[in-house]
């Protein structure tokens, strides 16, 4: 069985990994923002349903990435709270 210091170290490593994941999510989000901007600019004046669908789906993907980042940050905070308590 792990001692308290080992548990704290494992929790810290988990929080660090989650932090790296949040950074990756932010990078992907930036790439989606760029793709959205380009698609919107390209589609100016076009009302084709396929373009509208593509924009809508990219916007949904972006929102879900934001949600994933928020959930991950909340998990990191909870893990840090646990680490401080033990």
Domains of the chain, residue spans: 4-85
pLDDT digits (tens, 9 = 90+) for 21-58: 999 999 999 999 999 999 999 999 888 999 999 999 99
| Phi, psi dihedrals of residue 48, rounded to the nearest 5° | -65, 135
Closest CA to 36 of 28, 25, 47: 28
Best CA proximity match to 22, nearest among 60, 68, 86, 85: 68
**What is the model's pTM?**
0.88
Q: Which two tokens stand for residue 66?
A: 């934001």
DSSP 20: H
CA 72 to chain centre: 7
Has residue 73 got a pLDDT over 90?
yes
* Both tokens assigned to 62: 């972006």
């Amino acid at each position: 069985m792990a001692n308290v210091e080992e548990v704290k170290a494992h929790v810290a490593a988990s929080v660090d990994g989650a932090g790296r994941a949040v950074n990756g999510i932010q990078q992907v989000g930036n790439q989606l923002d760029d793709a959205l901007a380009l698609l919107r600019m390209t589609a100016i004046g076009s009302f084709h349903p396929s373009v509208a669908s593509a924009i809508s789906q990219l916007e949904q993907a972006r929102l879900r990435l934001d949600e994933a980042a928020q959930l991950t940050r909340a998990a990191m905070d909870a893990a840090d709270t646990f680490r401080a308590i033990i």
